[in-house]
């Protein structure tokens, strides 16, 4: 007999039984999110999961991940352009070689990250896809003149 952390008997169920007991649906609200999270917590409390339970847990986890990815405020990043790329490289523990498919060569990646080259549209498209972030975050910030005098004096 298997028991949970509180000593209650656990009855393992097949994948089909799990689907019938709690049919997975797309998460659209915080309430849906909390309900699915509760079901995940319940499964995790089992401890040792059967392969069917693990597959079902993976499915629920994917639903939660999709909801979080969709609702996360992705425009709250303060970094932009090459500075954002540097931050993401550090955050994910990447090396320049990991970005070779985006920049084609390590030297181009290095030049972009050191401010010697600007990101191209193709590189921005690839970076947005690679990091699953909006394209606009990879465009370099543009300084805008606050008045006509600033524009006239700079030319």
pLDDT digits (tens, 9 = 90+) for 1-13: 455 556 666 678 8
Asked if the structure places residue 149 within a domain, the reply is no
Q: Domain range holding 32?
A: 2-72
Among residues 56, 72, 88, the one where a domain terminates is 72
Number of domains in the chain: 2
Residues 82 and 68 in one domain: no
Residues 99 and 64 in one domain: no
What pLDDT shows up at residue 23?
A: 94
Asked if the structure places residue 21 within a domain, the reply is yes
Asked if the structure places residue 131 within a domain, the reply is yes
Asked if the structure places residue 46 within a domain, the reply is yes
Which parts of 1-145 fold into alpha helices (H)?
15-21, 30-44, 51-71, 81-92, 100-103, 106-113, 121-131
Residues 63 and 117 in one domain: no
Asked if the structure places residue 89 within a domain, the reply is yes
Please measure the distance between the N-terminal and C-terminal CA atoms of the chain and give it in whole angstroms: 82
Whole-prediction pTM: 0.46
Residues 14 and 60 in one domain: yes
| 38-54: pLDDT as tens digits | 998 888 877 788 999 99
Tens of pLDDT along the chain (155 residues) come to: 455 556 666 678 899 999 999 999 999 998 998 999 999 888 887 778 899 999 998 999 889 888 887 776 654 557 888 999 999 999 999 998 899 999 999 999 999 999 899 898 889 989 999 998 888 888 876 555 555 555 556 55
Residues 64 and 85 in one domain: no
CATH number, domain at 106? 1.10.260.40
Residues 20 and 58 in one domain: yes
Q: Which residue has the tokens 């010697």?
A: 116
Residue whose C-alpha is closest to residue 63's, from 107, 22, 5, 117: 22
What pLDDT shows up at residue 98?
A: 92
Q: Are strands 9-10 and 2-3 parallel, antiparallel or unpaired?
A: antiparallel
Asked if the structure places residue 154 within a domain, the reply is no
Using alpha carbons, list the distances in angstroms from residue 60 to 22, 71, 93: 10, 17, 27
Residue whose C-alpha is closest to residue 102's, from 84, 75, 132, 128: 128
What is the three-class DSSP state of 78? coil
Asked if the structure places residue 146 within a domain, the reply is no
What is the three-class DSSP state of 9? strand
Residues 105 and 126 in one domain: yes
């Amino acid at each position: 007999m298997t028991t949970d952390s509180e000593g209650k008997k656990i009855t393992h169920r097949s994948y089909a039984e799990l689907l019938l007991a709690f049919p997975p649906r797309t998460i659209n609200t915080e309430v849906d999110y909390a309900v699915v999270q509760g079901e995940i917590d319940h499964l995790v409390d089992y401890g040792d999961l059967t392969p069917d339970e693990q597959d079902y847990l993976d499915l629920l986890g994917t639903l939660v991940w999709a909801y979080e990815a969709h609702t996360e405020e992705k425009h709250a990043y303060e970094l932009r352009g090459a500075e954002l790329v540097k931050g993401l490289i550090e955050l994910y523990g990447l090396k320049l070689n990991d970005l070779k498919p985006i920049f084609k060569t390590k030297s181009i990646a290095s030049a972009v990250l050191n401010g010697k080259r600007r990101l191209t549209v193709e590189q921005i498209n690839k970076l947005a896809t690679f990091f699953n972030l909006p394209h606009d975050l990879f465009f370099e910030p543009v300084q805008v003149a606050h008045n006509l005098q600033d524009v006239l004096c700079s030319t």
